[in-house]
Structure 1
């Protein structure tokens, strides 16, 4: 998954403003205690980050 696809999925799921806020501020233990932005900057794959977001926010299977 490309970063642009990941950002589109985030915006579609949470709305553009909330997606940006989650990516910047929400710390996930499944990402090593990092935010989405920190994990992506550290080189973690967007698909792995998306899975962590889906798990943390109970995104339904059909939208994963």
Structure 2
């Protein structure tokens, strides 16, 4: 996967989960692949959008076209 910009990350999140659920998921769902952090926490800690997106894809059934 190429570099994922933060704007592209959020676009993909909203395409797959819907705007409201994407925001809720990012705030509340803890991902093991992110060392027990939420998406919001990982991004705030400086984790790359690419790594966070890869963790989302590993956790949820994200279609290939959005990977």
TM class by shorter-chain length? over 0.9
Spell out the pairing of 1:22-61 with structure 2 (5 A cutoff): 22-61=25-64
Q: How far off its partner does 1:63 sit? A: 2.2
Q: Give secondary structure in 2 for the equivalent of 1:19.
A: helix
**Which ranges of 4 or more aligned residues in structure 1 deviate by more than 4 Å?**
none
Aligned length: 64
Which stretches in structure 2 are left out of the alignment for 5+ residues?
A: none
Name the stretch that deviates more: 32-41 or 54-63.
54-63
Compute the TM-score of the two structures, normalised by the length of structure 2.
0.89
Compute the TM-score of the two structures, normalised by the length of structure 1.
0.93
Q: Specify which structure has the higher proportion of strand.
A: 2
